[in-house]
Amino acid sequence: MSQAILNALKTRLYATSSLTTTFGSRIYLDQAPANAQLPLLVYRATEDRTTPMFGMIMHQIDFDFEMFFDNTGSQTIHTGAANLASALSTPLTVSGFDRASFVRTAAGVPSRSDDAWSMTERYRATAFDT
Amino acid sequence: MAIDTYLIGNDGNFSMSIGGTTQGVFKVRSFAATLARPVAELTSFGDTGRRKRLGMLDVSGTLNAVFGVDVTGSTNSAYWIFSDQSYSSTAANDKRPQVTLTLYDGTGTADAKLVADCVFSQFAFNSAKDGDTTCTVNFENASGTAPVVTWLV
């Protein structure tokens, strides 16, 4: 998949103050480090579908955003999801593409374990290379 | 001539111009075109087999496309979508699209393509919130002259 889209997504996530206020710098691609402090956000691309056309290619990329919150934290996990939705509510500017536009395809359901809450939000990004 | 290359979709291309100006308002994912002549039945008494003649060459088909916009644009330059696409001998006023359907683009003379002055008789738009926005465009030969078929392989 396109590195430019991943870079643009990382830039957008870290440029969204409501997310960095909640997660700090604990926004990770694919996997969080061991013993990382909560809350944290892990995002990963699960599928990249390319549709060739005469003159360009359409990319549709599915992303999972998995967030973890401490049971004792004051911030509810829903706030993290709302902040993520706000961060992705406008298209990303991506070099080599017209834009990358995100739409939420599945809202997460909070799941409680013995030491954390977790929830996975799913988004689909669409971009046309130019 | 011996054939050394068999065609696949990726060998093809699509382009469209209006009044001699190339149009990029949509990109085509696939096309289907039918090149046809009507068959006139001329069989008469005395014939021992059917007698038929072919009529004028015609082309019609469908484009599966994705439309685009210029977000910085301020003019409605895609007027041909809703216009009558009428012909004018003045190129700047000619709203009739010239369609080039390429099956093999050798970027030279070794092309396999079909060029026709057409009208777009139908635009069927489809859009899904969690998917893409596509359009099916129907075209038909319209100029009173036959489509030009090049097949120099």
DSSP B45-76: TT-SS--EEE---EEEEEEEEEE---TT--S-
Kindly determine whether residue B66 and residue A124, on different chains, have CB atoms separated by under 8 Å.
Answer: no
Report the CATH number at residue B71.
2.40.30
Average pLDDT over residues B93-105: 90
Residue A44 pLDDT > 90: yes
- The alpha carbon of residue A54 is apart from the nearest alpha carbon of chain B, in Å, by 5
Say how many domains are in chain B.
Answer: 1
Average per-residue pLDDT in chain B? 90
In the DSSP assignment, the letter for residue A54 is B
Extract the tokens encoding A13.
């996530």
Q: Could you tell me if A33 lies within 8 Å of chain B, comparing CB atoms?
A: no
Show the domain range for A63: 3-128
Say how many domains are in chain A.
Answer: 1
ipTM above 0.95, yes or no: no
Q: What is this structure's pTM?
A: 0.83
Beta strands in chain B (DSSP E): 13-18, 21-22, 26-36, 39-41, 52-54, 58-67, 97-104, 112-127, 133-141, 148-151
Residue B1 lies in a domain: no
- pLDDT tens for each residue of B50-96: 999 999 999 999 999 999 988 888 877 777 788 888 888 887 788 88
Q: Could you tell me if A53 lies within 8 Å of chain B, comparing CB atoms?
A: yes
Kindly determine whether residue B29 and residue A103, on different chains, have CB atoms separated by under 8 Å.
Answer: no
Report the CATH number at residue A100.
3.30.2000.30
